[in-house]
Amino acid sequence: MLIRDVRIEGAEPADIRVEDGVFAEVGSLEPKEGEEIVDGGGRLVLPPFVEPHVHLDTCLTAGDPEWNQSGTLFEGIERWAQRKESLSVEDVKARAGKAIRQQVAFGAQAVRSHVDVTDPNLIALRALVELREELADYVTLQLVAFPQEGIESFPNGRALMEKAADLGVDCIGAIPHFEFTREYSVSSLDFACHLAAERGLLMDVHCDEIDDPESHGLETLAARAYELGLGEKVTASHTTAMGSYNAAYFTRLLRLLKLAKINFVANPLVNIHLQGRIDTYPKRRGVTRVKELVEAGLNVSFGYDDIFDPWNPLGTGNQRDVVYAGLYITQMMGYQQICDSYRFITHNPARALGITDSYGIEVGKPANFIILDAETWYDALNWSAPVIGNYRAGKLIAATAPVEREVFF
C-alpha cells in the first residue's frame, strides 16, 4: 500500500509505503504495479494516540442509577457505590468495549486503564483481562491494579494486589494520599514498588490527587523508584498536590524527580473540575506543574481520566479535547508549545507505557498511524479535525468522514 502526499508529524509532504504490516519506505515514492494507493491530499499523519490514564471500569455510567448533582468527587464516590452493586463481567466488558471503540475512532491504539481492585471478587479486572485479549489485534490495552480504597487501609488490600498481579495486570498502582495515615501511605508505596520489582511489572500510581500541600507520596515513590532502579517504568499520575507545594520544597523535590526519571500523567480536564472544591477564594487550580516538569526534561503526558461517569458527566474519550483544554489550564499557549502539544498524547505516553520499540513512523516498525483532516497539528487541534483513518499494521481499523460546513449567506 502506498499512502501518497502526507505530512508526517507536520514535515514537508512525503509518501509512505506499507508492506506486510510494517513501514517499508518513506520518501518521494512511485507506485508499484497493482499497488493500493491512498491519496493523503497533503494531510497530517501522526503515530496513533496513546491514552495513558483512563478508568474503563467506571466509564459510560453517568446518570445510572442517579446523576451526580453537586459535581463533586465525594458525590461521585456515592453514585459509584450505587452503580457498583450491579457490576458484572458482561456489564464491564460491554461498556469498556464501547469506550475503547470510541477512543479508537478518535485515533487511539494504546490505552492504559486503571481498574479498581478493592473488590474481593475482582470482577472488573477479570472482565478487562478478557477484553485485553479479545481486542489485542486492534488496541494495546494495559491494565493497572488500582486500589481505589487503599492498600493498607482496605481489608486484605495487599492480598488483593497480589491476586491482581497473578491475574495478569501490566502495572501496579497505589493511592498514597487516600491511605488512613502518613505511615500507611509510605508503607503502601514500599509494598507496591517491591511488588512491581519482584514481578517485573510497570507502575502507575494515583499520587497526591489532593490539594493538600502536605501530601508527599511523590517523594517516596520517586525515592523508591530511584533506589530500586525502576525509574522509567514508573508513572506518577495526577500529582495535583504539586500545585500547592511551596517553591523551596518543589525545588528540592525536582532534583529527586530528575534523578529518578519517572513519568508523569496530568489529567487537566478532570482535575480542574474536581480539585479546588474545598477552597473558597482564592481558589487553587488543582493541576500539577506541567510546564515546570516539561522544562526540567521530564516526560509528561495528558490523560482523559474519566469518560462519562460519576466523576465526569461529559466526555467521549476524544484525546484532542484533553490537549485543547490542557493547554489553557496549564498556561502552555505559546506558539511552539501548541505546535508540540500532540506529544502529550503520542510520543510521551508511548514512553510511559514502554511501547516505543514498536511506536513511531519509521521504516521497519509496525505500520500504525493516523491521518487527520488538517495539514498541521495546530489546525487539527484548533478545528477538532477528525481522524479520517486509523491504521494498525497497515489495516484500516476506524474512519471518520471529513466535516463539511455550509453557510448560506
Q: Catalytic: 406? A: no
Other Cβ atoms less than 10 A from the Cβ of 168: the count is: 12
Minimum CB separation of residue 85 from Zn ion in Å reads: 22
Minimum CB separation of residue 303 from Zn ion in Å reads: 7
* 263 Cβ contact partners less than 8 Å away, ≥ 6 residues apart: 232, 234, 235, 236, 298, 299, 300, 301, 348, 351, 352
- Cβ proximity to Zn ion: between 170 and 305 the closer is 305
- Cβ proximity to Zn ion: between 268 and 394 the closer is 268
| Lookup: cell for 130 | 478478557
CA dihedral defined by 184, 190, 194, 200, rounded to 10 degrees? 90
Please count the residues of this chain forming the interface with Zn ion, following the rule CB under 5 A. Answer: 1
Region binding Zn ion by CB under 5 A among candidate stretches 120-128, 152-160, 224-232, 299-307: 299-307
Residue with CB nearest Zn ion? Answer: 305
DSSP string, 232-270: GGEEEEE-GGGGGS-HHHHHHHHHHHHHHT-EEEE-HHH
- Cβ proximity to Zn ion: between 305 and 309 the closer is 305
Region binding Zn ion by CB under 5 A among candidate stretches 223-231, 304-312, 348-356, 362-370: 304-312
Minimum CB separation of residue 156 from Zn ion in Å reads: 22
Minimum CB separation of residue 119 from Zn ion in Å reads: 16
- Cβ proximity to Zn ion: between 115 and 127 the closer is 115
* Range 375-407 burial, b when 16+ CB lie within 10 A, else e: bbbbebbeeebbbbbbbbebeebbebeeeeeee
Identified catalytic residue from 209, 362, 375, 404: 209
Give 223: exposed, middle or buried? Use CB within 10 Å, 0-12, 13-18, 19+: middle
Minimum CB separation of residue 378 from Zn ion in Å reads: 29
Q: What angle do CA 182, 183, 185 make, to 5 degrees?
A: 60
**Distance (Å) of CA 41 to CA 108, 126, 164:** 22, 44, 47
Region binding Zn ion by CB under 5 A among candidate stretches 149-157, 189-197, 256-264, 303-311: 303-311
Minimum CB separation of residue 267 from Zn ion in Å reads: 6
Q: Amino acid letter at 230?
A: L
Region binding Zn ion by CB under 5 A among candidate stretches 59-67, 187-195, 300-308, 338-346: 300-308
Binding mask 214-233 for Zn ion (x = CB under 5 A): --------------------
How far is 325 from 305, CA to CA, in rounded Å? 14
Q: 375 by DSSP, 3-state: which? A: coil
- Cβ proximity to Zn ion: between 217 and 360 the closer is 217
- Cβ proximity to Zn ion: between 57 and 305 the closer is 305
**Distance (Å) of CA 46 to CA 5, 42, 361, 371:** 13, 13, 8, 7
User: Which residues are marked as active site?
Assistant: 209
- Residues at the contact surface with Zn ion, assessed by CB under 5 A: 305
